[in-house]
Structure 1
Amino acid sequence: MFPFIKTRYYLKDFLPENYIDIHNHLLPGIDDGAKTTQETTELIAAMKELNIHKGIATPHTFNSKWNNTSQTIKAAFGIATKEKANKEFLKNYASEYMLDSSLIAKMKEEELLCIHDNFLLLELPLLSSPFNLYEMLFEIKIKNYKIILAHPERYFYLHNSIAKYEKLKEFGIFFQLNLLSLTGYYGKIIQKKAVELLENDLYDFTGSDIHSKTEINQFKTVKLQIPNKKKMEHLLLNNSIFLK
């Protein structure tokens, strides 16, 4: 475990001007995030208060659980952005895709929704690794997608060896830190792993993964203890490429 510095900061204090959030669940009624357009509007207003300037909506696409399609996501985005404030905040829509065989089949039939250009946001099962993980990643890569792996610090089966993370990086996978992981929101074990990955410069981008006001409160009420403030500030600036 890395030694913590004594100075503590709230998560909101780190967010740079014009920060764009590339991972959230703001679209109404299509996954475990916002349930109504009113809730979408309230969440966006609260995110602006955190200094989050723009957002790219990324609802789940998860076979047999959240069976979203490009059409359902587009429709929810259209409903959400009827409100002027929401339209100004939401730059685009994409999806957080669960990596499984159904996604590979979907990819062969249609283009997947990317957060920007060909950047594709993927998640893995939290508790057990797909047995053909690298085969599926390879199939996606040969379709010319750039893979961003959501919250790698949350996959317990990677925790026992930093080499597992390094292998994914060598395979060309980008890592997205869930900012909430640094607050201990998902537990101390995940918090420690997030700090370790941050200290080893393994993250490329960041995201809020906001579903509700509960997560937003973490940005304002929980103080962080991180070894290197400058590394955190530098990492947060990387998201600026998605504003273009």
Structure 2
Amino acid sequence: MFSIFKTKHYLKDILPKNYIDIHNHLLPGIDDGARTVEETTALIADMKTLNIHKSIATPHTYSSKWNNTSEIIKAAYETAIEDNANRSFIKKYASEYMLDASLMEKIKNERLLCIDDHFLLIEFPLFSNPFNLYEMLFELKIRDYKIIIAHPERYLYLHDSIEKYEKLKDFGVYFQLNLLSLTGYYGRNIYKNSLQLLEKNMYDFTGSDIHSNAEINQFETTPLQIRTKSKLDQLLLNNSIFLK
């Protein structure tokens, strides 16, 4: 696959010292990630072997699938960190929020769970462009959230024009790359899109989006498909702001 790339680099070998993962699904039993505390503990053990030093847990909040509240997420976090090894690895909890009408109602009544310092992780629907996208982003911005768009390379309706990404960036949002996109894990089109965004320096942060052993195995066994490694090396350092 993608045989023009001569040098093989594996994600498990290139993460910088003290790398902190800001997008994962480690908290047990509340979304499509770890199902039990035992799975949480096993995933954390494996993530450490990948040179992931710490994490901020980001379970889904998505009204039609995972109706998580801040209280539910806090309870799952407290259950997870009863194990001392988990406690030292999971720095804090936040959420990956679906940008939709229910989120617009939620922000009227409560403060959302941020990764750190007002940074809020947001995902879009994978297949359908929200018709009022910028109105919703504006509502978040006026509430002093710094918006991080999770895995923008995966939204198929943005693939036809780099100008759509440039417009988002001009609006003042941040982009978070799913590292596995650069291995072809999500498919060829998403790989090509992630490579284009990386080479144009449009990403700000990175994340593993680890849900299960499937992603762990990909970190270990599938080489990156990138033309040069230097841009990724620099990008990987940006997450260090969340270690403070």
For the criterion TM > 0.5, the same-fold answer is yes
The 8 Å contact of residues 195 and 226 in structure 2, kept in 1 or not, is answered as yes
SS of the residue corresponding to residue 97 of structure 1 reads strand
1:127 counterpart residue number: 127
Q: Structure 2 counterpart of 1:230, which letter?
A: S
Tell me the distance in 2 between the aligned counterparts of 1:115 and 1:212: 21
Q: Which moved more, 1:222-231 or 1:86-95?
A: 222-231
Q: Deviations over 1:111-137 (max 9, x none)?
A: 000001100000000001100000000
2:84 counterpart residue number: 84
Count residues with an aligned counterpart: 243
CA displacement at 1:167 relative to structure 2? 0.3
CA displacement at 1:14 relative to structure 2? 1.4
Q: Structure 1 counterpart of 2:8, which letter?
A: R
1:144 counterpart residue number: 144
2:228 counterpart residue number: 228
2:7 counterpart residue number: 7
CA displacement at 1:181 relative to structure 2? 0.6
1:34 counterpart residue number: 34
Point out where structure 2 has 5 or more consecutive residues left out of the alignment.
none
Moved over 2 A (4+): 2-5
1:165 counterpart residue number: 165
Q: Structure 1 counterpart of 2:100, which letter?
A: D
2:97 counterpart residue number: 97
Task: Give the alignment of 1:36-115 within 5 angstroms.
Answer: 36-115=36-115
Identity of aligned residues (%): 70
Tell me the distance in 1 between the aligned counterparts of 2:64 and 2:190: 27
SS of the residue corresponding to residue 224 of structure 1 reads coil
CA displacement at 1:4 relative to structure 2? 5.2
Judging changes above 3 Å, is the alpha-carbon distance between structure 1 residues 139 and 48 closer, same or farther for their aligned structure 2 residues?
Answer: same
1:213 counterpart residue number: 213
Q: Structure 2 counterpart of 1:49, which letter?
A: T
The 8 Å contact of residues 3 and 227 in structure 1, kept in 2 or not, is answered as no
Q: Deviations over 1:48-101 (max 9, x none)?
A: 000000000000000121000000000000000000000000001000000001
The 8 Å contact of residues 56 and 91 in structure 1, kept in 2 or not, is answered as yes
CA displacement at 1:5 relative to structure 2? 4.1
Larger RCO (CA under 8 A, 6+ residues apart):
1
Residue 13 of structure 2 is aligned to residue 25 of structure 1:
no
The 8 Å contact of residues 184 and 225 in structure 2, kept in 1 or not, is answered as no
SS of the residue corresponding to residue 109 of structure 1 reads coil
CA displacement at 1:190 relative to structure 2? 0.4
Q: Deviations over 1:191-217 (max 9, x none)?
A: 111011000000000000000011000
CA displacement at 1:3 relative to structure 2? 10
Tell me the distance in 2 between the aligned counterparts of 1:111 and 1:159: 32
Q: Deviations over 1:135-171 (max 9, x none)?
A: 0000000000000000000000000000000000000
1:174 counterpart residue number: 174
